[in-house]
Amino acid sequence: MAGDASKILQVAVIGAGAAGLCAARHLASKPHLFQPHVFEKEEQVGGTWIYTEDVEKNKYGFTVHSSMYKNLKTNLPKEVMAFPDFPFDKTLPSFLTHQQVLQYLKDYAQHFDLNKFIKFKTCVDHIKPVITSSKENQVIWDVGFRGIEQSSDDIETQQFDAVIVCNGHYAEPQIPNIQGMSSFHGNIVHSHHYRHPEDYKDKNIVLLGAGASGIDVALDIAPCARRVILSHNKNPLVSALPENMSQAPGIKYLKDNKVIFKNDQEEEIDVLMLCTGYKYSFPFLSPECNVQVIDSRVTSLYKHAIHTQFPYLSFIGICSVICPFPQFDCQALFIMSILDGSQQLPSRHEMEKDIEKDYNWRLNDLQFPNRYAHRMSNMQWDYNDQLCMMAKVKPISRVVPSIYDAVHHHRVNHLMGYKTDEYEITGPDTWRKIEPNK
């Protein structure tokens, strides 16, 4: 099908969060080649940026998707967060509220006239390849979906030439197995369900995990809680922390209302909050799609995006520890260059060799644990450049990594202050403290 100019490719996009919107925006820019059909189970665009007070199920009985909490401010500044072709409003501060990011995504959808492609309140139930020729990538895709107000028997099916999966990966909590959990006397919650610090007033709380969420939520809770302990296996945070916040090693076990850390320190606590991340989940992909998730590794995806057996099944947003919106843009353009035939993929065998090489390099050279198969951090810029080069499109501006690195450095040393309006980013490596009287 690729390269057949007489045929407009019908492309199903699953999800209208930042990734799905970005896919739709680029597909829609070539109407002679592509027709996007976006499926979104929420009532509006924005995905994880749609804050809700609901924590378990929404009013339609669906599991709550968003992990946003009331006071969340972005941990990336707007200067690097934006899609390359759609800057944030200049009058906004560098670090944004979730409402401001949601508004940005709504503005993006409106600016590129994307809402007309989106079927809202429509949940994708299943996706299945239907082989149309002996060549294995010659398939069409059955996409089964239903209105969220309809019964689960009311599934409609439509066929598409290609599918781009953009369903996010911060919706299904990863729950570790800790000895003593089932008989623990206190509350155990996951950060996915965290909404307000007031719910933890005067509580003694341990947050397990010092990723971005663990640190940010601990700092948000500290002004209300009696005591906050951040338990993790990383090097201790170097920044100053609130007076009632301390750090401890990982948890050895739980007993009654006590947590026993790996250094045998014991603390009586009211709440254990698991800031232990999320699982990749694609409940709608049928077994025939041949997508496996093993130890947080989604296989087999060439360049973390293209299914090696079915190149017309692709994914945006699988990587972690990234600057998401700019990377989504690179991935969308990369996928489109395959769909429109302007880029020829290597053979399936070559692609699988490339994946194994990348994975083994992570495990052996970088000494990453298995679950870091899609973790990017400072590798993201080369990866983005590679996608852009292969897709023959303009790479992301060099200014983005410079600002990203500067913010990271500043954050590590000033966890309590780096998001406030006391600081202003004045250039790639420059940061100015704003004097209060100026």
Q: Which residues here bind ligand FAD, judged by CB under 6 A?
A: 14-20, 39-42, 47-49, 65, 67-68, 74-76, 81, 123-124, 166-168, 170, 213, 284, 317, 324-325
Minimum CB distance to ligand FAD smaller for 114 or for 259: 114
**Min. distance of Cβ 5 from ligand FAD in angstroms?**
30
**Min. distance of Cβ 371 from ligand FAD in angstroms?**
17
Minimum CB distance to ligand FAD smaller for 168 or for 197: 168
Cα 251–Cα 256–Cα 257 angle in degrees, nearest 5? 70
CB atoms within 10 A of CB 303: 21
CB atoms within 10 A of CB 79: 17
**What's the sign of the alpha-carbon dihedral 316, 321, 322, 325?**
positive
- DSSP element (H, E) containing 403: helix 399-413
Minimum CB distance to ligand FAD smaller for 125 or for 352: 125
**Min. distance of Cβ 224 from ligand FAD in angstroms?**
18
**Min. distance of Cβ 361 from ligand FAD in angstroms?**
25
Cis preceding linkage at 397, omega within 30 = no
Minimum CB distance to ligand FAD smaller for 75 or for 246: 75
**Min. distance of Cβ 80 from ligand FAD in angstroms?**
8
* Most distant CA atoms of the chain, gap in Å: 73
Classify residue 313 by its DSSP letter: E
- State how far the alpha carbon of 55 is from the alpha carbons of 72, 108, 155, 206, in Å: 16, 27, 27, 20
CB distance 165 to 315 below 8 Å? yes
Which amino acid is residue 132, in one-letter code? Answer: T
Minimum CB distance to ligand FAD smaller for 184 or for 418: 418
Rounded Cα gap, residues 398 and 402, in angstroms: 7
**Min. distance of Cβ 32 from ligand FAD in angstroms?**
26
Name residues whose C-beta falls within 8 Å of residue 267's C-beta, 6 or more positions apart in sequence: 204, 206, 229, 248, 258, 259, 261
**Min. distance of Cβ 324 from ligand FAD in angstroms?**
4
Minimum CB distance to ligand FAD smaller for 119 or for 348: 119
Minimum CB distance to ligand FAD smaller for 66 or for 308: 66
